[in-house]
Amino acid sequence: MTVATLTSEAKTRSRGRPREFDMDAALDSALRVFSKRGYHATSISDLTEAMGLASGSIYKAFKDKRGVFLAAFGRYRQLGRRRLEAMIASAETGRDKVFQMVMYYTELSYGEAGRKGCLVVGGANDFALLDEEAAAHIVTAFAADEKLMADLIRIGQADGTIPKTVDPAAAALAFLCFTKGLRVIGKTGRSREEMVSAAEAAMKLVT
Amino acid sequence: MTVATLTSEAKTRSRGRPREFDMDAALDSALRVFSKRGYHATSISDLTEAMGLASGSIYKAFKDKRGVFLAAFGRYRQLGRRRLEAMIASAETGRDKVFQMVMYYTELSYGEAGRKGCLVVGGANDFALLDEEAAAHIVTAFAADEKLMADLIRIGQADGTIPKTVDPAAAALAFLCFTKGLRVIGKTGRSREEMVSAAEAAMKLVT
DNA sequence: TTGATTTGGAAACGTTCATTCCCTAATTAG
DNA sequence: CTAATTAGGGAATGAACGTTTCCAAATCAA
């Protein structure tokens, strides 16, 4: 037993009985059910079943349902950002980095991943209205994406792969809407081919 | 008393006690609360308060909560489609019709209307997972938008305002994602100027 | 007028929900 | 070894939920 958390535990061992469950695995289970069913349609029972924890343990570890969502949300963003940055780093030019970012979301917009949905997009629809702090988390997540996209566009303009005539702020916001829309439409079960062709069409935004 | 429904009642008077409330006004209230709070976060109490009806009356008129949503959803689509087609009709060229359609959603993506959200986008996130029929309603709503956009693009290609090189299906799906994404981002409270500049940028999809 | 039918609405119903309590187990500090 | 502290988990709790029931009111058919 006594499996310590992995990513979250670089710190010293605390007093008292040590946590038995794997925090990251538990959060992965939680975010899976949250993103598929949404915040309000997810019950504590759903979470106990998915996470393999009793309700008492969940409340001890996360304070309340909102706390579970926030923790899962944090992990979701962290993992997503890591994968996204890896894809961007694999591209040479600014324009190709933009394309890789668009493709990152495109690959999440069909089949199983598409149906699972996006925790941020879904959260904007029901979690954000819990309170202002919750809403701020959603806004922050969108803003990070928007800023990254704007940065990539400027890189493209610097290396000559994206015309200087493109307004980075406007194009970044347009891409943000497009990629979040991908996740919405992805819930309805479209084919990879359709979504990729839409993504390729969207690249006209940086011509 | 005895105010009959307006749009829904061209038919003959039925037997029994006549309906006292205005169906369309009640549905307008219902769709307001559904689109702001989402399906699952909206309680029957929310609906009785907003619609000015007792719970018993709601169940008599709509069968259950799902029925209220479906009725409100139908009215939402009908009203929206009417306004959208009016804007499209006001434009001369195919390209301008596309722009008017994009602007229709753009004007719903900031301020009060933006915060209120879209019943279809929100429904894709929590109503659609109720059952297959509910999901089909969401798919149908998206499909109608996508088809309309593809038609407008073909009109533009016919009248020479949109290049023949544009793939209508791919561009229409890209626009669909963009416009639905507008509604997602609109929930976070952006300015009109930002959203309009993104909309103008999106018009590059038909160049 | 009488009966059938439908609506309006308040109260009641059973269920499920998020949350708390409490006891046991495992660990550290001294 | 003892006390303090924290985690695990099952049972209990109170509120809120969606829904049903029941009865009065209003209309149509005869």
Question: Residue B40, CA: closest nucleotide via C1'?
Answer: D17
Of A40, A167, A174, the CB nearest to B126: A40
- Domain boundary at B41, B56, B79, which? B79
Percentage of chain B lying above the pLDDT 90 cut: 92
Alpha-carbon distance of B134 to B127, in angstroms, equals 7
Residue A43 lies in a domain: yes
- Domain boundary at B79, B100, B129, which? B79
Chain A residues touching residue B187 (CB < 8 angstroms): 124-125, 128
List, for residues B142-197, the tens digit of each pLDDT value: 999 999 999 999 999 999 999 999 999 999 999 999 999 999 999 999 999 999 99
Determine whether the distance from the CB of A21 to the nearest atom of strand C is below 7 Å: no
Examine the domain organization and report whether B196 and B169 are in the same domain.
yes
Examine the domain organization and report whether B127 and B149 are in the same domain.
yes
With distances taken from each CA to the C1' atom of nucleotide C24, the closest residue turns out to be: A17
Q: Which residue of B has its CA nearest to A191?
A: B173
Residue B8 lies in a domain: no
What is the domain-level CATH number for residue B65?
1.10.10.60
Alpha-carbon distance of A27 to B202, in angstroms, equals 37
Q: Could you tell me if B31 and B123 are in contact, meaning their C-beta atoms sit under 8 angstroms apart?
A: no
C-beta atoms of B38 and A125 within 8 A: yes
Chain A residues touching residue B190 (CB < 8 angstroms): 173
pLDDT digits (tens), chain A, 207 positions: 323 333 333 346 789 999 999 999 999 999 999 999 999 999 999 999 999 999 999 999 999 999 999 999 999 999 999 999 999 999 999 999 999 999 999 999 999 999 999 999 999 999 999 999 999 999 999 999 999 999 999 999 999 999 999 999 999 999 999 999 999 999 999 999 999 999 999 999 999
Examine the domain organization and report whether B174 and B117 are in the same domain.
yes
pLDDT value of position A9:
35
Examine the domain organization and report whether B40 and B109 are in the same domain.
no
pLDDT value of position A14:
83
Examine the domain organization and report whether A161 and A101 are in the same domain.
yes
Alpha-carbon distance of A170 to B106, in angstroms, equals 13
As a dihedral over the C-alpha atoms of residue A133, residue A139, residue A140, residue A144, rounded to 10 degrees, the angle is 170
Question: Does residue B25 surpass a pLDDT of 70?
Answer: yes
Quickly give B42 CA vs C21 C1' distance in Å: 31
Quickly give B47 CA vs C9 C1' distance in Å: 15
Question: Residue A55, CA: closest nucleotide via C1'?
Answer: D9
Residue B15 lies in a domain: no
Quickly give A197 CA vs C10 C1' distance in Å: 57
List, for residues B42-85, the tens digit of each pLDDT value: 999 999 999 999 999 999 999 999 999 999 999 999 999 999 99
Number of domains, chain B: 2
Question: Does residue B4 surpass a pLDDT of 90?
Answer: no
- Domain boundary at A30, A46, A79, which? A79
Residue A100 lies in a domain: yes
Chain B residues touching residue A199 (CB < 8 angstroms): 174
Chain A residues touching residue B121 (CB < 8 angstroms): 125, 184
Examine the domain organization and report whether B106 and B178 are in the same domain.
yes
Residue B14 lies in a domain: no
The band of B122, judged by pLDDT with boundaries at 50, 70 and 90, is very high
Question: Does residue B11 surpass a pLDDT of 50?
Answer: no
C-beta atoms of A202 and B205 within 8 A: yes
pLDDT value of position B12:
57
Examine the domain organization and report whether B139 and B115 are in the same domain.
yes
Examine the domain organization and report whether A95 and A33 are in the same domain.
no
Examine the domain organization and report whether A97 and A180 are in the same domain.
yes
What's the mean pLDDT when you consider all of chain B?
A: 94
Residue B178 lies in a domain: yes
Residue numbers 7-26 of A with CB closer than 7 A to any atom of strand D: 14-21
Domain that holds residue A27: 21-79
What is the domain-level CATH number for residue B140?
1.10.357.10
Residue B191 lies in a domain: yes
Examine the domain organization and report whether B170 and B146 are in the same domain.
yes
Determine whether the distance from the CB of B131 to the nearest atom of strand D is below 7 Å: no
Please return the burial class of A66, using the count of CB atoms within 10 Å of its CB with bins 0-12, 13-18 and 19+.
middle
Quickly give A110 CA vs C27 C1' distance in Å: 47
Examine the domain organization and report whether B57 and B103 are in the same domain.
no
Examine the domain organization and report whether A26 and A122 are in the same domain.
no
The contacts of residue A44 (CB under 8 Å, 6+ apart) are: A55, A58, A65
Residue A84 lies in a domain: no
DSSP classification of residue A148 = H
Question: Does residue B9 surpass a pLDDT of 80?
Answer: no
